[in-house]
Amino acid sequence: MRFRTFMTVLGLAATVALAGCTTTGESQETAQSTKVEIFSDSYGKVTDAGYALPAIPIQKIDKKFHRQIVNYSTLEKPGTIIVNTRERFLYYVLPRGKAVRYGIGVGKEGFAWEGKAYVAWKQAWPTWHPPKEMAERKPEVAKYVEKGMGPGLNNPLGARALYLFNEKGQDTLFRLHGTPEWSSIGTAASSGCIRLMNQDIIDLYERVKPGRSAKVIVQQ
């Protein structure tokens, strides 16, 4: 009887072990979203190029939108940027099935375009030129259409901007940029392209080398 009981327990253990190795669509999705390392302590005060970026009260932002490294399954090469506008995430693909995930805010312009592009160039503390369509909606920004708004803590492009061009080498007018409006992360803002917290866009900026190989995929 003791031998039979031992064999029964052994069989159950083997069944459990096999079940743990089974890969299903659900378990893959769970693995992909597993948080490996969260950088919630990376949003303090920063002095950058003479500008004093204030600390972000990160505890007020849903933790899923904090910068973090996650398991991420994709056939795209490391260095690719994948933007999921509906989930409000931007992924920077790393080797070995990982990615840096950033929380984003999406404006109307952000929803207006999807497809493939590349980072043609990037700019630290950029000048902002609002599109004419925005100036028609907001007359107070019309003066910046031509001359632009100089860099600064209140500039809508924030501390950094990445400029996306299509495969024909044409400007998509689509930007990945910082924002002083940290509370807009995870939301659909009234205007703008894809916005990240300033501390996050600085991190992404340092990772990206502009050129055709800096592929960007925007998904809705």
Task: Say yes or no to pLDDT of 4 above 90.
Answer: no
Mean pLDDT of 55-73: 97
Please provide the average confidence, as pLDDT, over all residues in the chain.
Answer: 84
Q: Which tokens sit at 82?
A: 């994948």
Task: Say yes or no to pLDDT of 88 above 60.
Answer: yes
CA nearest neighbour of 210 among 159, 162, 157, 173:
162
Q: For 103-151, how does the pLDDT look when each residue is reduced to its tens digit (9 = 90+)?
A: 999 976 556 678 999 999 999 999 998 888 788 888 898 899 999 999 9
Which of 19-28, 50-59, 100-109, 200-209 is predicted with the least confidence, judged by mean pLDDT?
A: 19-28
Task: Say yes or no to pLDDT of 166 above 60.
Answer: yes
Q: Which of 21, 66, 129, 193 is catalytic?
A: 193
pTM: 0.81
Site of tokens 């327990």? 9
> What's residue 168's pLDDT?
94
> What's residue 190's pLDDT?
61
Residue spans of the domains in the chain: they are 36-219
Q: How far apart are CA 163 and CA 152, in angstroms?
A: 18
Give the up-direction half-sphere exposure of residue 156: CA atoms within 13 A in the CB hemisphere: 18
Q: How far apart are CA 100 and CA 214, in angstroms?
A: 15
> What's residue 17's pLDDT?
33
pLDDT band at residue 50, thresholds of 50, 70 and 90? Answer: very high
Site of tokens 């160039």? 121
Question: Is residue 21 among the annotated active site residues?
Answer: no
Higher pLDDT, 192 or 71: 71
Question: Is residue 193 among the annotated active site residues?
Answer: yes
- The CATH superfamily label for domain 36-219 reads L,D-transpeptidase catalytic domain-like (2.40.440.10)
> What's residue 108's pLDDT?
67
Please list, in sequence order, all residues whose beta carbon lies within 8 angstroms of the beta carbon of residue 130, skipping any fewer than 6 positions away: 138, 141, 144, 145, 149, 156
Mean pLDDT of 144-173: 94
Give the up-direction half-sphere exposure of residue 92: CA atoms within 13 A in the CB hemisphere: 21
Task: Say yes or no to pLDDT of 202 above 90.
Answer: yes
